[in-house]
Amino acid sequence: MVKGQVIFASFWKRVFAYFLDFFLLTFVILSPLIDPFESKFGENISEAFNFTFGWDYFFLTVVIGFLILLYWSVMECWFGQSIGKMFFGISVQSTNKKQISFIQAIIRNITKLSLILLFLDTFYMFIKKKHQRFFEVLSETQVVVEVVQ
């Protein structure tokens, strides 16, 4: 390995890290909000759509979206990696190999608010045969194998 060489994190490591973070978010951070969500909108999706979406739904959606974005952005900006990425030994850096800014972190994680957007964002990697999602290209960030210093 040449000094200063960038080793991109493998796709599957990134996927597993994402799912680990996803479970942490769902069952730890968002767990206090699951009960009110279910009680307001039903436990299954068909029941949920029988309700008129109103203020409660909007508020909960905004809060959950905010927490999701906050988790990934702060973790990657402060520590260079989320807990999932720590577990799989990968980290995020700027394309100039520096620590990413908060704005960069928000831009690269914005698609995590929607699975469809994240899928499309990730699909870009396969089309362009790159190691970066579309929003990683936009934010000038990349996910690399963690460098032990």
Partner 1 sequence: MMTKAVKALLFLFCLWLFSFSLNFVFFNENINFPGNEEIVVIPVQGMITLDGGSSFLTSSTSGKVIAQRIKEANEDPFVKGIVLDINSPGGTVLGSKVVVDELKKVDKPVVAVISEYGTSGAYWVASQADYIVADDLSIVGSISVLGSYLEYGGLLDDYNVSYQRLVTGEYKDISSPYKEMTSEEEALIMDRLQGIHDYLVVDVAEGRKMSVEDIQELADGLFYLGQDGINNGLVDYIGVKEFAINLTKELAGVSGGEVSEYTEERGFFDDFFKKYLSYSFYYIGVGIGSTLFSVDAQGLNIEV
Q: What angle do CA 13, 98, 80 make, to 5 degrees?
A: 40
Q: Nearest-CA neighbor of 96 among 66, 133, 141, 129?
A: 141
CB of 37 vs partner 1, minimal distance in Å: 9
Q: Which stretch binds partner 1 (CB under 8 A): 4-12, 63-71, 113-121, 130-138?
A: 63-71
Over the window 89 to 128, marking each residue x when it contacts partner 1 by CB under 8 A and - when it does not, the resulting string is: ----------------------------------------
Give whichever of 11 and 59 is closer to partner 1, judged by the CB atom.
59
Q: Does 86 bind partner 1 (CB under 8 A)?
A: yes
The tokens describing 9, both together, are 């994190």
Q: Does 147 bind partner 1 (CB under 8 A)?
A: no
Over the window 7 to 26, marking each residue x when it contacts partner 1 by CB under 8 A and - when it does not, the resulting string is: -----------------x--
Q: Which stretch binds partner 1 (CB under 8 A): 6-14, 46-54, 95-103, 118-126?
A: 46-54
Residues 70, 64: Cα–Cα separation, whole Å: 10
Query: Pick from 69, 74, 117, 120: which binds partner 1 (CB under 8 A)?
Result: 74
Q: Which residues bind partner 1 (CB under 8 A)?
A: 24, 28-33, 35-36, 39-40, 50-52, 54-56, 59, 63, 67, 70-71, 74-75, 78-79, 82-83, 86
